[in-house]
Amino acid sequence: MSVSVSKKASNRSSQPTTIAWRYYVVLAIVTLIYGGLLARSAYIQIIEPDMLKKQGDMRSMRVVANTVQRGSIIDRNGDELAISVPVETVWADPKIIMDNDALSMTEHWQALADVLGQDISKLTTRVVRHPSKRFVYLERKISPAMANYIRELKIPGIYLSKESKRFYPTGEISAHIVGFTNVDDKGIEGVERVYDQLLTGIGGSKHFRKDAQGRKIEILSVEAPQEAKNITLTIDQRIQVIAYQELKGAVQAFKATSGSVVVADIHTGEILAMANSPSYNPNNRRNTAIHRFRNRAITDIYEPGSTMKPLTALTALEFGSAKINTIIDTNPGWMRLGGRRVNDPINRGKLSIEEILVTSSNMGTTKLALSVPKNFLLDKFFDAGFADDTGTDLVGESSGMMHDRPRWSKFELATLSWGYGLAITPMQLARFYATLANGGIKRELSIVKTEQVNEGVRIFSQANTESVMAMLETVVDKHVKKAKVAGYRVGGKTGTSFKAVAGGYGNDYVGLFAGVAPISDPKVVVVVVINDPGGDLYHGGEVAAPVFSRVMKGALRVLNVTPDANEKLAHDNTVINNTVIKTIDELRVSALEANDV
């Protein structure tokens, strides 16, 4: 009995201890939970509140973009070369399509596939592959007629959105200048790429908050769009058409690999036309060979051949080792320099500088080149810009190939003097002849119209360049009659060069002609390059000069330049009449003196 009483007393004494221990454990757990919640609340609201704000904004805030249409590219007269036209894009919402069992509308899907020019199985696979996605492109930038047809199909989950598409009204004629954009309207080639940022502009946007019913309850901000800029080129599309058509015809007629034409304003450096053949259609580039995209007038380099002989003659005049009336003895018609032979086709004997250019004498040109110090000769070639780009800023422009090495043999200097041992672009050649024509002032060429005056820098004296220009007129009058333009005085020089291959030169040619008109007041320079003509005719005077004549004729007429050939004829007749009168007077005086005796 006493034992049981003691056990009960013992249980009573230990019971409060057990209850207190459990109480403190529960209290600690509750305290930790509330402490954790408090800490989490403090962390979310004080330290990192952006997450909740972001989630709230995602539910209530919306942004509407205000896109800007890409700017236009126009020529100097305002004719459109690149514009943006409204189109629509077809896209699908796979989730809605699957929820509405729209794929069961077989005939409608077949009609959709037919109008898009796609296989129906591939079209539906793009939808089935991602059934939970909310956006899949089906076709970008379709015509309004196609869009209306698709809209009438009324397929659940198929939608149309408005976009713009680039269109090039001039097609292949100006393709290499203007370039093109990709499907997202980003410039890829030509002016489209160089001035992509200006043409694109910056789209605007409107930020607003909506309620649960989708109604606008607050406009948060409005960003005004920055309108895209239009680009005005220096190109005259009328001259561009003439240049391209004449070049394309010549490349086909002479079975050439390619060709280029550059037309530029002599006094401003503005490019009036720049054509290449073969070209491409920028509105439909599918299955177009990549090499057709190349703007050969600025990317391809050629050894310019005899078109460099006027520069050599000018260099001798500038140094003073030759005068206008200097006679160069080319006998016996050949010479050896360091074991290498320099020769003319025949022994031309003694030649004036003008006759050297008319006959295109390698012997005469070599002797003029060797009459000046090496560094002076090389400096003049570098001054002419044959190691620099022309300033157009077009993508891919080559700076040519002009070696800047300390050691040059006499034979290397000789070949340089008649256009071998360097390689330049048609654009560089045009800039040099423009420099000759405007009195020795070199200007950068430009493709975009600007109000800034292109002052240029003088690299040759005016007197010597005018003398060389007079010689180039004689070259055309006496030697390259195919380059003449009816009614105008024309000066220029042909060039024919072998194409370099590994280890030397092959059997392919490049025919060139560079010239200016009118000589009395030079306005326009035209350069024509016919690459690798495949027929029996390959000399520059045969394949390039006729193209020059027709392009120059068209350009002068478009620019309304007054003919000057009659002025020269009248001047020559006056000189002849004065000479005859003077001779008659001298004979009369002689007769009177004889009678007096």
pLDDT given at position 400: 93
pLDDT in tens, 484-539: 999 999 999 999 998 887 777 888 899 999 999 999 999 999 999 999 999 889 99
pLDDT in tens, 307-336: 999 999 999 999 999 999 999 999 999 999
| For the chain, domain boundaries | 64-232, 237-282+292-563, 564-597
pLDDT given at position 190: 95
**Residue type (1 letter), 176:** H
Q: pLDDT band at 16, cuts 50/70/90?
A: low
Instruction: Quote the tokens at residue 131.
Output: 């059934």
CA distance linking residue 63 with residue 57, whole number of Å: 11
Place of tokens 């030759």: 322
φ and ψ of 164, to 5 deg: -130, 150
- DSSP character for 290? G
More confident residue, 129 or 61: 129
Superfamily name and number for 237-282+292-563: DD-peptidase/beta-lactamase superfamily (3.40.710.10)
CB 370 within 8 A of CB 413: yes
Which residues, in sequence order, are CB contacts of 568 under 8 Å at separation 6+?
489, 520
φ and ψ of 383, to 5 deg: -60, -35
pLDDT in tens, 204-239: 666 767 776 667 776 777 777 778 899 999 999 999
Place of tokens 């079209």: 123
φ and ψ of 205, to 5 deg: -160, 160
Residue in 63, 128, 61, 117 with CA at minimum distance from that of residue 92: 128
Q: pLDDT band at 23, cuts 50/70/90?
A: confident
CA distance linking residue 324 with residue 6, whole number of Å: 145
pTM listed for this prediction: 0.80
Q: What is the DSSP string of 357-375?
A: HHHT-HHHHHHHHHTS-HH
Active site residue 143: no
pLDDT at position 99 over 90? no
Which residues, in sequence order, are CB contacts of 83 under 8 Å at separation 6+?
72, 166, 167, 169
Q: Which CATH class is domain 64-232?
A: alpha beta
Q: How many helices (H) and strands (E) does the chain have?
A: 21, 23
Beta bridge partners of residue 92, listed in sequence order: 136, 158
pLDDT given at position 502: 76
pLDDT given at position 576: 46
Kind of pairing, strands 231-232 and 73-74? Answer: parallel
CA distance linking residue 171 with residue 158, whole number of Å: 33
pLDDT given at position 1: 46
Catalytic residue among 174, 277, 306, 417: 306
Beta bridge partners of residue 82, listed in sequence order: 73
Instruction: Kindly report the number of other CB atoms within 10 A of residue 412's CB atom.
Output: 18
What does the radius of gyration of the chain's CA atoms come to, in whole angstroms? Answer: 40
pLDDT at position 575 over 50? no
Instruction: Quote the tokens at residue 275.
Output: 């054509």
Q: Is 579 exposed, middle or buried (0-12, 13-18, 19+ CB in 10 A)?
A: exposed
Instruction: Quote the tokens at residue 52.
Output: 């909740």
CB 410 within 8 A of CB 370: yes
Strand segments (E) across 211-285 = 216-223, 231-232, 258-265, 271-277
pLDDT at position 92 over 80? yes
What dihedral do alpha carbons 246, 247, 253, 257 form, nearest 10°? -170
pLDDT at position 276 over 80? yes
CA distance linking residue 266 with residue 522, whole number of Å: 7
Percent of the chain predicted with pLDDT > 90? 58
CB 278 within 8 A of CB 257: no
Instruction: Quote the tokens at residue 515.
Output: 């010239």
CA distance linking residue 384 with residue 375, whole number of Å: 14
**In the Cβ-directed half-sphere of 448, how many Cα atoms lie within 13 Å?**
17
pLDDT in tens, 126-163: 888 877 788 888 888 888 888 889 888 888 888 888 88
Instruction: Quote the tokens at residue 352.
Output: 């004036």
